[in-house]
């Protein structure tokens, strides 16, 4: 295992690390291909729930598979893999190991083997994404993110509007500002044109509201981290993606934006100004929630009562208590026929004490990295991206693939950018050493 080469950023030519690697047209072309693929990935994230019948899977997964193929081809040609494994990555690998052991032990969990395979594929693709991003600079990652956000925001608006007009469902949005009138009808229209084309078979789970809303949240955060030079462009993209998040009626996406807005501003505000900032944030959340609750019985953003979810947690604790060592098996549902909307509780119920310990490590590590990142001075504070997987683990029920695609992208971008900014000496890197650590190969 070779040691990484540390280069003083002040001695680099203009262009950062790209200037050191520039060995000819082949290297430049390869970097441009990576930027193109990453831009395409970012732009395609809102269309994750749209599965084309010819391909059998969504466009973001197609782009991720292309990235994996690129890494495989590059590795075969050069016999080199630019790998860097963080402590969080080790936790994810251990979690997958517990999944494999659980599936081997319990043979009766419906869909468990398929979910295990999908999770393994997602972890492999995530590793490939990290490898490709390590081949370009943080600035180039920022360029790709900006282009992807701009393209994805405009493309989604145009596609959604076009599909609503083509299917005659645009007027249905005027029936009321709620999930069924706005979100479901919009994605039903998109699916009718670009997806299965079977409106009678379209169900609520096909919308994948939270996964789509995470993409718009990621767009919002990318705009705050990798800002455009034109302030009006930033304002336009921030406003559009806040509107998209609200129109998906995903509470965790809405609260993710609220947390980051206050967290990012509170680092620079003290005393009275911080108190006013917090007051304005809480006030805006409450006013929005009350407005939606008053004007839409099915808005969900204004619904703070989650008795069903609390019942899930109670049932998960009971399941864990009945089988604390091995759990009830990966992929198994609760007695009420649902999955647990919490990563830690769900892992404990399915995989016992081993799943609980590894899940707690992943969850707590991500929170520590997020909080440390908010306090750490960085030119590009990508730690804010971690709010997406944190809230996903807190209230989500994703057991296939461990995380959503947007969460995998958020984690990969954070770890790579953090490592590169630490190596170049940009900001205080003491938190990175203590909180995440990395092993380079």
Q: For 174-217, what is each residue's pLDDT tens digit?
A: 777 777 778 888 888 887 777 665 655 556 555 677 888 999 99
What are the CA-CA distances from residue 230 to residues 155, 188, 223, 236 (Å)? Answer: 20, 35, 11, 10
Spatial contact of 394 and 441, defined as CB atoms under 8 Å apart: no
In the beta sheet, which residues pair with residue 439? 85
Classify residue 5: in a domain, yes or no.
Answer: no
Task: Output the pLDDT for position 37.
Answer: 94
According to the model, what pLDDT value does residue 333 have?
Answer: 74
Going by pLDDT thresholds of 50, 70 and 90, the confidence category of residue 129 is very high
Least confident interval from 163-172, 227-236, 320-329: 163-172
Q: Which of 26-35, 74-83, 302-311, 403-412 has the lowest average pLDDT?
A: 302-311
Q: Tell me if 280 is assigned to some domain.
A: yes
CA 293, CA 254: separation in Å to the nearest integer? 15
- On the question of pLDDT at 20 being above 60, the answer is no
How many other CB atoms are there within 10 angstroms of residue 324's CB atom? 12
Q: Do residues 313 and 345 touch, judged by C-beta distance below 8 A?
A: yes
Domain for residue 441, yes or no?
no
pLDDT of residue 200: 55
pLDDT, tens only, 227-284 = 999 989 999 999 899 889 888 888 888 888 887 777 655 555 445 555 555 555 555 5
Q: Is residue 97 part of a domain?
A: yes
Residue recorded with tokens 């608006």? 157
Structure token pair of residue 101: 């052991």
Number of domains in the chain: 1
Residue 131 lies in a domain: yes
Three-state secondary-structure class, residue 327: coil
> Quick one: tokens of 381?
């504070």
Q: Which of 142, 8, 2 is nearest to 82 (CA)?
A: 2
Query: 295 lies in a domain?
Result: yes
Q: Which of 163, 162, 160 minimizes the C-alpha distance to 152?
A: 160
Which helix or strand (DSSP H or E) is residue 86 part of? strand 84-86
What's the angle, vertex CA 191, arms to CA 172 and CA 402, rounded to 5?
A: 115
Is residue 270 assigned to a domain? Answer: yes
Residue 2 belongs to a domain: no
Q: What is the DSSP letter of 180?
A: I
List the domain range (segments joined by +) for residue 377: 17-431
Q: What is the pLDDT of residue 16?
A: 39
């Amino acid at each position: 295992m070779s040691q990484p080469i540390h280069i003083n950023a002040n001695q680099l030519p203009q262009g950062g690390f790209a200037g050191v690697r520039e060995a000819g047209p082949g290297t430049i072309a390869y970097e441009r291909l990576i930027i193109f693929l990453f831009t395409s990935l970012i732009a395609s994230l809102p269309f994750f729930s749209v599965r084309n019948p010819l391909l059998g899977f969504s466009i973001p997964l197609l782009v991720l598979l292309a990235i994996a193929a690129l890494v495989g081809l590059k590795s075969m040609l050069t016999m080199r893999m630019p790998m860097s494994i963080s402590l969080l990555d080790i936790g994810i690998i251990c979690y997958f190991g517990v999944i494999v052991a659980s599936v081997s032990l319990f043979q009766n969990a419906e869909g468990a083997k398929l979910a295990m395979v999908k999770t393994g594929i997602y972890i492999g693709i995530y590793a490939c994404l990290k490898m490709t991003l390590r081949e370009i600079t943080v600035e180039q990652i920022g360029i790709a993110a900006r282009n992807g956000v701009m393209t994805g925001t405009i493309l989604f608006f145009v596609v959604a509007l076009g599909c609503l007009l083509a299917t005659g469902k645009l007027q249905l949005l005027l029936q009321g500002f709620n999930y069924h009138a706005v979100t479901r009808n919009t994605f039903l229209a998109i699916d009718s044109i670009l997806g299965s084309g079977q409106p009678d078979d379209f169900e609520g789970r096909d919308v994948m509201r939270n996964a789509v809303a995470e993409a718009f949240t990621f767009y919002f955060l990318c705009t705050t981290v990798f800002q455009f030079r034109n302030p009006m462009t930033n304002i336009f993209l921030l406003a559009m993606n806040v509107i998209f998040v609200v129109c998906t009626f995903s509470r965790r996406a809405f609260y993710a934006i609220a947390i980051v807005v206050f967290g990012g501003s509170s680092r620079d505000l003290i005393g009275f100004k911080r108190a006013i900032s917090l007051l304005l944030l809480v006030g805006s959340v409450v006013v929005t929630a009350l407005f939606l609750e008053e004007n839409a019985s099915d808005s969900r953003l204004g619904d703070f009562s989650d008795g069903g979810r609390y019942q899930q947690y109670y049932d998960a604790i009971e399941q864990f208590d009945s089988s604390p060592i091995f759990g009830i098996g990966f992929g198994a549902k609760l007695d009420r026929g649902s999955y647990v909307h919490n990563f830690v509780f769900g892992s404990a119920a399915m995989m016992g004490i081993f799943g609980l310990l590894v899940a707690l490590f992943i969850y707590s590590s991500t929170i520590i990295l997020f909080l440390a990142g908010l306090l750490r001075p960085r030119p590009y504070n990508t730690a804010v991206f971690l709010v997406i997987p944190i809230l996903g683990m807190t209230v989500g029920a994703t057991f296939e693939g461990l995380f959503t695609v947007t969460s995998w992208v958020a984690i990969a971008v954070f770890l790579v950018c953090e490592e590169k900014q630490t190596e170049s000496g940009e900001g205080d890197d003491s938190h990175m050493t203590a909180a995440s650590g990395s092993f380079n190969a």
